[in-house]
Amino acid sequence: EKVLLNDAILNASEAKVSVFDRGFLFGDGVYEVMVQLDNRFFFGKEHLDRLESSLKKVRLSFELSTLPQKIDRLLDATGLTTEDCLLYIQVTRGTAPRKHAFPKDTAPTLLMYAVPFVLPEVNNKPVSAVTRPDFRWHRCDIKMTSLLGNVMANDFAIQNGHYEAIFNRDGKMTEGTHSNLFFVNEGMVFTHPADEHILNGITREIVLQLCRDNNIPYREEAIAFERINAMDEAFLTGTTTQIAAIRQIDDHTFYHRVEPGPVTKKLQQLFFELKKNPILH
């Protein structure tokens, strides 16, 4: 398996990063995940724009202009140029003696890998979720590699037989550990506002645009934990999750636990069509 490390294409087993890399010591890095579908990155520009925004938010200077050409080199080396695949991009603040202060004139470390990945046409397997206190920090808008809070909550979900944990911050549902959260109540779609308590998913933005284009009313408004029982439908969104209906949150079940509700189904259909023709109004 080939990876790109800085300027070099290497076998994964031979690609080496210093033990003093700040990504390793501090989790001082940001990342992005996107998928190539039918020879183009699905909303690739939006993903790269978000990477640029994450880099800015953590004051990490990294030259992004050569990234597209590096992506092409990696896909070429892995034989994935025309294949559906998943691309992972990570930039850390590089290698320096361990001090909290940002090092001066240190080259960032870039790691990219691509693996074959086929998205199901529609994610029609409703999933089960469990709520957890949102013990993460207050800058969840940064797509950073320090994901201990997210992986701990996800581990709790898995250990208890669920697919995802949904964070509850001060009585309001924010997002999943690796997905955004939506509810539907009497035809109105709800999702947490894109503030510093969630990662503003590219898929989340696509779903909101699909709502606008198809006259599906929505509000960017958090749902309170006590109101989960009053919701008709719930679903998760993400680049690899796409749109996954939630069949159960804690003890509350939606739609007899077997099929997505009508609004979720409609959005899944619209998302499926968008993948064939990725243009929004």
Residues in contact with ligand PMP by CB under 6 A are 150, 175, 178-180, 199, 201-204, 237-239
Q: How far apart are CA 103 and CA 204, in angstroms?
A: 35
Crossing angle of helices 262-276 and 202-213, rounded to 10°: 100
Residue nearest ligand PMP (C-beta atom): 201
Could you tell me the smallest distance in angstroms from the CB atom of residue 151 to ligand PMP? Answer: 10
Q: How far apart are CA 127 and CA 131, in angstroms?
A: 13
- Retrieve residue 62's tokens: 């990294």
Could you tell me the smallest distance in angstroms from the CB atom of residue 92 to ligand PMP? Answer: 17
Tell me the three state secondary structure of residue 43.
Answer: coil
Question: 238 with 119: CB under 8 angstroms?
Answer: no
Tell me the three state secondary structure of residue 265.
Answer: helix
Nearer to ligand PMP, 67 or 202 (CB): 202
Host H or E run for residue 206 = helix 202-213
Nearer to ligand PMP, 93 or 136 (CB): 136
Nearer to ligand PMP, 216 or 244 (CB): 244
Q: How far apart are CA 256 and CA 201, in angstroms?
A: 28
Nearer to ligand PMP, 96 or 114 (CB): 114
Q: How far apart are CA 173 and CA 247, in angstroms?
A: 16
Nearer to ligand PMP, 42 or 255 (CB): 42
Could you tell me the smallest distance in angstroms from the CB atom of residue 174 to ligand PMP? Answer: 9
Instruction: Tell me if residue 143 is catalytic.
Output: yes
Q: How far apart are CA 112 and CA 88, in angstroms?
A: 5
Could you tell me the smallest distance in angstroms from the CB atom of residue 188 to ligand PMP? Answer: 21
Q: Determine which one of 56, 99, 104, 143 is catalytic.
A: 143
If you write DSSP's letter for every residue of 148-175 in order, what string do you get?
Answer: HHHHHHHHHHHHTT-SEEEEEETTEEEE
Could you tell me the smallest distance in angstroms from the CB atom of residue 175 to ligand PMP? Answer: 5
- Catalytic (active-site) positions: 143
